[in-house]
Structure 1
C-alpha cells in the first residue's frame, strides 16, 4: 500500500507503523524482528456475488476441502504463536462462512488485529453491531463505481445500494470502515463520483487498487489502464487528496498493488515541493516496496500458504501439515527464497531501474501473467524510460 495521505502531509494512521518504519524496512529483507507477516486468510471461496476481477475465482458454493472450524482454530493458534500483527479475512465473501463470527471473535480474543475485506452487501445494522462488539479493527467494503457501473462489475443488480448500506451501517455504530475501488478502463471515469461519495457519506478511508491479472482478473489485463492513463489517474488522485485536505476533511487515501505510484508521487513533488520530496523519498526507502512473500502472505480456504493473495497457483505448504511459521521461514522453497532476495532475479527494465530499492520489483504476478516469467518486468509500471534511468526531473 502507498499512503498518499502520509506521503503528502505526513498524517499518521494505524497502518503507517507497518508501512513506514525501520521494522518495515527490515521486513523487506526478510528480517522482521517483531513477528510474522500480515496474513490474508481467504477463509472461503463461496460468494454471493460474481465479480469480474475476482482473484479467488469465487463461486456460489464453498469449495471442497475448506478448513473445518477446529482446523481454522488451530490455524489461528499458529498465527498467534508466530506473532502475526494483522489478520485480514477475505474470500470469496467471508461473511457467508457459517462460523466466521466465532472465528473472528476467537482471533481478537487471542490478541490478533483482525480486519475484514467484504463486498458489504450482508452488513445490516445488527451485523455491523456484532462486528463492533467483537472488536474488528477495520472493515473494507468494495465499491467499483456507483449504481449500475458497480452492479455490472459485481455481477448482481442492487449490489451497489446494498454495499453502500453496509458502509452506512458500520458508520452508524462507529465501526471503522472504508471503501475499496479497483481501477480499470471500465470505471476510471467514476473516480470523481467516488470522491463525491467520500465527502457526502463521511467515509474516512479509501483504497484504490490497480488490477492484478490473477484468477478471473487474469481475463481483464486488456482492460487495465495504459501507461498514460495510469499517470493521469495518479495525478487525479494526488490532486483530489490535496483537495480533501484543503477542505479540512480527514480522509485517508491509499493506492494498492503498484509501487510505481510512490515513485511517481515523489518525482512530481521534486518539481512542486522539493523539501517535502526529500521526506517522501525517506518514507519510501523505509517502506521498501513490494513485500509479497516477505511482510505479507496468504492462506487459502484449504490451508495452503501463498506468497500473497494473488499467487494462489504457487503453494509454499499447508497449515494442516506444518505450522504457518515453519512454512514461512523455510527458505528451501525456491519461490519464497527468491522473493526474499529478488533483485538478482529480476529481468528487463525492473532489473536496471534506478528506483528498484524503493519499489522492489513491483507485482510479480502481473509479470508472470503477461510474459510467462515470474521475474520479468511488471507490465503495469508506467514510469518512463528516462524516469527509471534516474531522470528525476523528467
Structure 2
C-alpha cells in the first residue's frame, strides 16, 4: 500500500486545525451530584416525574453504596468543589437520613436538601445542621388551593409554609423556595410572590413541569406557549422590582 507523504504546508494546516479544535474544547468538571436517595414519599403529587409513593417496590439505595460513589469521586475531584444534593422522593422519610448526611459531610462534600417540608421539624433541622447542612430547598407550588391541588395532601401547604418560616428565622442557612408552574397556579403567581415576600423569602425559583412519570398524565400541568412567554415576562418583571 502506497502511503502519501504530507507536505509541509498540509502539515502546518493540520496542526493549526488540531490546535484550534483543542482550544474549542472545554472541560466540564463535576460540580454537583444529585442523589435520589429514595423513591418513597409522604405525599402523592400529580406531577411527580419518578412516580414516587408512600410504599415503593424499589428499595432505598443503601447509604454505604452512595458513600462508595463519593469515595470514587474523591479520587478524581476535590470533594469541597462538588456539591451533593439529597433528594428523592422525600429524603426525610429515610430513617437514616441524618446518618446519610453525616457520611457525606465527613467526606468533606458540602451538601444540601430538597424537601416538601412535611417532616421538617425544628429538631430535625438542627440535626441536619449539626450534620453539615449547607442549603435547603422547600417546594411550594402556589397558595393553599393550588398547592393542595398539586400535592394532594390537606396538610401540605401549612407544613411547607411552616418549614419556610423556620428557614427564614434561622439566618444561617442558604435556602430557596421552588415553585412548579402549572395551569392551576399560573394566574396566581403575583399573589404567591407577595405571600413569599411577606414571609421574608429572598430567593425564589420557578420551574415548568417536565412531562414524565405522573407529570405526563395531566395536560393541566403543562403551560401553553403563550403562558410560557408570560412566565418569562413575570420573571423579568419580578427581577426588575428586586423584592425577591
TM-score, L = length of structure 2: 0.82
1:234 to 232, 235, 238: 232
Number of aligned residue pairs: give it. 218
CA contact (8 A) 2:86 2:112 kept: yes
2:139 maps to 142
Alpha-carbon deviations, 1:180-223, whole Å to 9, x = none? 00011111122112211221111121110111111111223553
Indicate if the aligned counterparts of 2:182 and 2:220 stay in contact, CA closer than 8 A.
no
Q: 2:52 aligns with which of 48, 53, 58?
A: 58
Bigger RCO (CA 8 Å, 6+ sep): 1
Q: Is the 8 A contact 1:80 1:111 kept in 2?
A: no
Contact in 1 for aligned 2:38/2:89 (Cα 8 Å): yes
SS at match of 1:194: helix
CA deviation after TM superposition for structure 1 residue 30, in Å = 6.6
Measure the CA separation in 2 of the matches of 1:118 and 1:216.
19
Give the corresponding residue for 1:31.
27
Q: Cα deviations across residues 203-244 of structure 1 (Å, max 9, x unaligned)?
A: 12111011111111122355311111111121112112211x
Give the distance between the partners of 1:221 and 1:171, measured in 2 at CA. Answer: 34
User: Is 2:38–2:59's contact at 8 Å kept on the other side of the alignment?
Assistant: no
Q: CA deviation at 1:131?
A: 2.4
Q: Does 1:71 align with 2:93?
A: no
- CA 1:193–1:75 in 2, change beyond 3 Å: closer, same or farther? same
1:171 equivalenced with 2:172 (yes/no): no
Instruction: Report the Cα distance in structure 1 between the residues aligned to 2:214 and 2:51, rounded to whole angstroms.
Output: 6
1:326 aligned partner? none
Equivalent residue, structure 1, for 2:210: 212
Residues 143, 179 of structure 1: 8 Å contact kept: yes
* In 1, Cα distance between equivalents of 2:71 and 2:94: 19
Q: In 1, distance between residues paired with 2:117 and 2:156?
A: 9
* Structure 1 Cα separation of the partners of residues 87 and 218 of structure 2: 21
SS at 1:137's partner residue? Answer: strand
Deviations 1:287-329, CA, capped at 9 Å, x for gaps: xxxxxxxxxxxxxxxxxxxxxxxxxxxxxxxxxxxxxxxxxxx
Q: State the distance in 2 between where 1:136 and 1:80 align.
A: 19
Distance 2:218 2:236 in 1: 25
Task: Indicate the SS of the match to 1:231.
Answer: helix
Gapped regions of structure 2 (runs ≥ 5): 1-23
Aligned to 1:194: 192
| 8 Å contact kept, 2:209–2:215 | yes
1:80–1:112 contact (8 Å) kept in structure 2: no
Distance 1:240 1:133, change over 3 A: same
Q: 1:106 aligns with which of 96, 103, 106?
A: 103
Whole-angstrom distance in 2 between the partners of 1:202 and 1:96: 28
Kept after mapping to 1: 8 A contact 2:168/2:199: no
Please report how far the alpha carbon of residue 162 of structure 1 lies from its aligned counterpart in structure 2 after TM superposition: 0.3
Larger Rg: 2
Q: Which runs of 4+ in 1 moved over 4 A?
A: none
RMSD of equivalent CA atoms: 2.1
2:217 aligned counterpart, secondary structure: helix
Alpha-carbon distance in 1 for matches of 2:143, 2:194: 11
Q: Which runs of 5+ in 1 are unaligned?
A: 1-27, 252-394
Which stretch has the larger CA shift, 107-116 or 214-223? Answer: 214-223
Deviations 1:334-371 (CA, angstroms, capped at 9, x unpaired): xxxxxxxxxxxxxxxxxxxxxxxxxxxxxxxxxxxxxx
Query: In 2, are the aligned partners of 1:148 and 1:157 still within 8 Å (CA)?
Result: no
